[in-house]
Chains A and B, each alone.
Chain A
Amino acid sequence: MNSLLVADTVSKKFGDFTALNDVSITVPEGSIFGLLGPNGAGKTTLIRIINQITMPDTGSVTLGGEPLQQHHIRDIGYMPEERGLYKSMKVGEQVLYLAQLKGMSKAEAKTRAKHWFEKLEIGDWWGKKIQELSKGQAQKIQFVVTVMHQPKLLIFDEPFSGFDPINANLIKDEILQLRDEGATVIFSTHRMESVEELCDHIALINKSNKILDGEINTIKRAYQNNTFDIGVQVVDETAFAKAQQQLASSFKVTPAQFKSLGNEHKLRVEMGDNGTPNELLSTLQTYGQVTHFVEVIPSVNDIFIQTVSQNK
């Protein structure tokens, strides 16, 4: 797969504060790339460098193989975390103005805007002022402004904050459709669970350093630990207690948390390299009815916490 955007050892300092320290990322074309990390990690700084709002101290960024240049702003659609529009300007005029700033002709902008307004069913907002709209409605306009010039690269900083669940879903579907039409998407967020399901690639940033990146399934596979949540409806309590001790001697066994209707024993068993799920299952069968047997796939959040604590 071709890479659309490559940031190579990018560093940025503000005075004594290092915002980014030799961060490199590669965003494959047509992917949804998650830029994840806690608040203040440096995600927004990296995005601003990609948008040419700030310049890196060292390192380089290329888009489609070319070093970033002024004309590349037309290929990027950016929805910043701090969203805003001119409050006393009419929706239609504003959308056309911002599209023209991105290099579209007025006629072209008008056609595209009409298309989006119909698609999102907001056609009757055209002549309204932004201050007459609700916050969620204004966010929709912001989304239209971001995607209207059909950019190759879409960057969303904290995309779903401020959207109600219905609109968040609507926007999510639109983004997925844009991806299917060929756009590459970068999501930046500190709420990792919110975009985990959408991303196929991620990079984790913590305290100005990139600590992990790659394809999300590869990463998860690397962090999966042969761990299963099990539920057993036990027949013989004393025998099971003995079996539990036996399990604990070879594996890490902790109480598991999952929802069930019965009063079965709930355990989380980390087998590592010492066993297979089949062996575990056949052992458990002998003590009673197995009601629950699910592999625990590490969440990005778990991976993040684990990586950060390892790096300390």
Chain B
Amino acid sequence: MTFLSPLILVGMILLISYLTQLNSEDKRTIVVVDESGQFETVFFNTDKTSYVNLSDQGLDAGKEVAKDDAYYGLIHISKNPETATNPVTFYGNETPSFDYIGDIEDRIEKRITDQNLVAQGINLTVLETAKSTIDINIENFSGESSSKMSNWVKAGFGGAAGYLLMMFIIIYGNMVMRSVIEEKTNRIIEVIISSVKPFQLMMGKILGTTLAGITQFAIWVLVGGVLLVVLTAFFGVDPSAATAVNPAASQAQQIAQDPNMMIELLQEVQKLPLLQLVGGFFIYFIGGYFLYSSIYAAIGAAVDNETDTQQFMLPIIMPLMLAIYVGFFAVIDNPHGTVATVFSIIPLTSPIVMLMRIPFEVPLWQIILSITLLIATFVFTVWFGSKIYRVGILMYGKKPTYKDLIKWLKY
């Protein structure tokens, strides 16, 4: 399965990008009936859409043609578009996409606006040359310049790391929990627990699963990456087509296509605090994963089967979701704001939020404080977990409540 999963994943990506291309290759023909006669030049043929102008035949005849020839639709523009209540109407069998409607609206709006401007005596070429674009150059006081691109790169790095950690926690934390439950249902637990201490068993389980998880992850990334490159070259399918719908991704694509921007991107990557980033990634990745999987293990110890785990999932999923949302909104908006800072110090959210903040250069004392708290909480949860373990593993057939768990601590 370890080797098969990346194959399946790559297959899926290729399939999706192929289907996306197939979907958008559908060519549409649309009838235009323009009674005002002002918009003829607005509707020019593109790769995906071609227009048939039937303005001289009128609306009803146009409809007939569109229906008979099974055209995608018909656009009707009334005689005096400036004054009519519904100047433009689209007729069709199905509702067209928002993108398409927005595109048509933009074109007609621009034409009417231009006409209004001309009517007011404004020269359009002058207006066009008067337009200006500004790129603000950002420098810190020691003279190092950065750019918007650098914020992009930092947010990208932080976001990817945080997201990766969350996925890792959910997948492999669950694995720890299932292996605890498995030992309970197999009833081997009493033999094991009479040989090693619950604390040792729990630590061993977490460490073992982590190593297995990292190995599996590495295999996926390596095999998946290689396969993707090879297959892309072989089939000539563009995998980024699958993500092109996403504006952020298309910007990334744009960057990739522009050699100047590519160089700037590489320079920005080099300027990142790489050592801090890699070190922070390892510490928070491992610390965060350990913390969460110790909670997972405790849950596994408390219950009998996987269905009973649902009620205890909230304390895991809530801080994870919170961390991701805080990360993607608060941190990217203002990496050193109060919310971002506080959440990067609170142990349950700190691994993800701090990982996202580190590219923006965090003061050392905050990192030290947050790591200390993280480690302390981890040791506490493992202790707490092994307490629950000691009692929970030997309790069969009873669905525990939070109240029971507190009681078990006293046993």
Residues of A at the B interface (CB closer than 8 Å) are 14-15, 48, 51-54, 70, 73, 76, 78, 80, 82-87, 98, 101-102, 142, 145
Contacts and interface: CB of A to CB of B under 8 A. Distances in A.
B407 A15 contact: yes
4 A-B pairs with least C-beta separation: A84-B187, A80-B190, A101-B195, A84-B188
B190 A101 contact: no
Contacts of B193: 53
Contact residue range for chain B? 20 to 34
Given A51-B194, A54-B394, A80-B187, 12 more contacts: A15-B407, A15-B410, A52-B194, A53-B394, A54-B390, A73-B195, A73-B196, A78-B190, A78-B191, A80-B194, A86-B183, A87-B186
27 contacts: A14-B411, A15-B407, A15-B410, A15-B411, A48-B394, A51-B194, A53-B390, A53-B394, A73-B195, A73-B196, A76-B194, A78-B190, A80-B187, A80-B190, A80-B191, A80-B194, A82-B187, A82-B396, A84-B186, A84-B189, A84-B191, A85-B188, A86-B188, A101-B192, A101-B195, A101-B196, A102-B195
B399 interface: no
Contacts of A87: 186
B131 to A, nearest CB: 70
A86 B192 CA distance: 11
Contacts of B187: 80, 82-84
Interface in B362-411: 390-391, 394, 396, 407, 410-411
B28 interface: no
Given A14-B411, A15-B407, A48-B394, A53 B188 contact: no
A78 B189 CA distance: 12
Interface in B149-203: 183, 186-197
Contacts of A15: 407, 410-411
Contacts of B195: 73, 98, 101-102
Contacts of A73: 194-196
A310 B220 CA distance: 71
Nearest to A84: B187
Contacts of A82: 187, 190, 396
Contacts of A86: 183, 186, 188
Given A15-B407, A84-B188, A78 B390 contact: no
Contacts of B391: 54
**Main SS at interface, chain A:** loop
A86 B394 CA distance: 17
Contacts, number: 54
Nearest to B201: A101
A18 to B, nearest CB: 13
Contacts of A53: 190, 193-194, 390, 394
Nearest to A50: B194
Contacts of A70: 197
Contacts of A85: 186, 188, 191
A308 to B, nearest CB: 27
B410 to A, nearest CB: 8
B191 A98 contact: yes
Q: Which of A51, A54, A80, A85 has the most CB of B within 10 A?
A: A80
A190 B410 CA distance: 29
A84 B190 CA distance: 9
A145 B192 CA distance: 11
A59 to B, nearest CB: 16
Nearest to B198: A53
A98 to B, nearest CB: 7
A215 B407 CA distance: 40
A78 B188 contact: no
A292 B192 CA distance: 54
A120 B384 CA distance: 43
A230 to B, nearest CB: 49
Nearest to A76: B194
A133 to B, nearest CB: 14
Contacts of B186: 84-87
Q: Which of B192, B193, B195, B197 has the most CB of A within 10 A?
A: B195
B192 to A, nearest CB: 7
A264 B187 CA distance: 54
Contacts of B188: 84-86
Nearest to B404: A15
Contacts of B192: 98, 101
Q: Which of B187, B194, B197, B391 has the most CB of A within 10 A?
A: B194
A145 to B, nearest CB: 7
Contacts of A76: 194
A86 B187 CA distance: 9
A76 B191 CA distance: 11
Q: Which of A51, A73, A84, A102 has the most CB of B within 10 A?
A: A84
Contacts of B189: 84
A78 B411 contact: no
A76 B188 CA distance: 17
Nearest to B395: A14
A181 B323 CA distance: 62
A180 B335 CA distance: 74
A78 B196 CA distance: 13
A106 to B, nearest CB: 15
Contacts of A84: 186-191
A82 B184 CA distance: 10
Contacts of B410: 15
Contact of B411 (A52, A54, A80, A102): A54
Contacts of A98: 191-192, 195
Contacts of B394: 48, 53-54
A154 B394 CA distance: 21
Interface string B192-224: 111111000000000000000000000000000
A184 B93 CA distance: 88
